[in-house]
Every structure is written in C-alpha cells, then in structure tokens.
C-alpha cells in the first residue's frame, strides 16, 4: 500500500502500534517469565499511538502539506508483520519481534525524513518514536540471548 497523505500514514502506524501492543500482551500471557517486559512494551505501543495521533490531530491545518507529504512510501517495502506464525518456538518468536521492531523503526524514520517540514509535528514525533525503537530492541535482545543459550 503506497502512502501519500498524512491521514493514511498516521492511520497505518496507529494500527501497527495497536496490533503490536496486542501481540506483546499475548506473549506476556504465554511467557510469564518475561511478562513484565512484554507488558511494558505494549504500554509503550499505546502511548506511541496516542502521541502520534495527538501530534497529527493537534496541528493539522490547511497551511501544512498533509495531502502531499509522502512520496514512494510503500508499506509493502517494509513487510511489517504484527502476528506470529502458529506454533512458532520462543527463540524464533523473539527473532521475529526484533525484526518487526527494526522494520517499524525504518518505516518511521523514512516517513519522518520524507515529511520533514511539510507536516513538522508529525515528522518530529515519527522520528522520536522511531529512534526510541532502539531501546525496545535492546530490551528484546537479552531475552533472546537468554533462551538461545
């Protein structure tokens, strides 16, 4: 799906954050030993969704280029999957989560770069949420190290 408008970008990333939150909540139930980490990630997903929507709905105005702020931003190029295959083992699940976070990060940073000063508040929040993904990945990697040992 090619994204050209701010509405489509905010709607898409909002769904990604919500679906990721649900994924982490499910994992917290399945893997109680790491439940706290997963729940904190899910909480952050919902906070991110709110922050992005707040930035968009708070500043959207006809003086900004909301309908013309993205070019060649195609979600198909990122293949962000917020579901895990049935019966996947825990180490593979963690690898997929790290991969998902990296792809979301790339999408957010690319979107931030493209929209730049055209919808500056949205671009700013995309960049912030994108950069913070590094910390999320850093939380997931030790879990993988632990189970892969």
Give residues in contact with other proteins (CB under 8 A). 1-2, 4-8, 11, 57-69, 116-118
> Please, where are the H alpha helices in the chain?
6-30, 35-59, 90-115, 120-148
Closest to other proteins by CB, 69 or 104: 69
Closest to other proteins by CB, 26 or 51: 51
Closest to other proteins by CB, 100 or 122: 122
For the stretch 39-68, what's the b/e string if a residue is b when 16 or more beta carbons lie within 10 angstroms of its beta carbon? bebbebbeebbeebbebbeebeeeebebee
Closest to other proteins by CB, 57 or 79: 57
Closest distance to other proteins from the beta carbon of 40 (Å): 29
Alpha-carbon gap, residue 122 to 51, rounded angstroms:
9
Closest distance to other proteins from the beta carbon of 76 (Å): 13
Closest distance to other proteins from the beta carbon of 68 (Å): 4
Count other C-beta atoms under 10 Å from residue 101's C-beta.
21
User: CA-based Rg of the chain, rounded to a whole angstrom?
Assistant: 16
Closest distance to other proteins from the beta carbon of 100 (Å): 22
In whole angstroms, what separates CA 107 from the centre of its chain?
Answer: 8
Structure tokens at 53: 């929507």
Closest to other proteins by CB, 27 or 64: 64
Closest distance to other proteins from the beta carbon of 41 (Å): 27
């Amino acid at each position: 799906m090619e994204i050209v408008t701010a509405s489509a970008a905010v709607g898409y990333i909002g769904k990604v954050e919500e679906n990721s939150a649900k994924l982490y909540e499910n994992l917290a139930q399945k893997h109680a030993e790491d439940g706290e980490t997963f729940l904190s990630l899910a909480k952050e997903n919902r906070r991110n969704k709110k922050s992005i929507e707040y930035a968009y709905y708070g500043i959207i105005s006809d003086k900004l280029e909301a309908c013309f702020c993205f070019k060649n931003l195609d979600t198909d190029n990122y293949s962000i999957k917020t579901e895990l295959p049935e019966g996947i083992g825990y180490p593979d699940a963690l690898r997929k989560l790290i991969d998902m976070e990296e792809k979301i990060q790339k999408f957010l940073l690319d979107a931030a770069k493209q929209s730049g000063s055209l919808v500056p508040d949205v671009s700013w929040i995309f960049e912030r949420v994108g950069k913070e993904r590094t910390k999320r990945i850093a939380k997931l990697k030790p879990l993988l190290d632990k189970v892969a040992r």
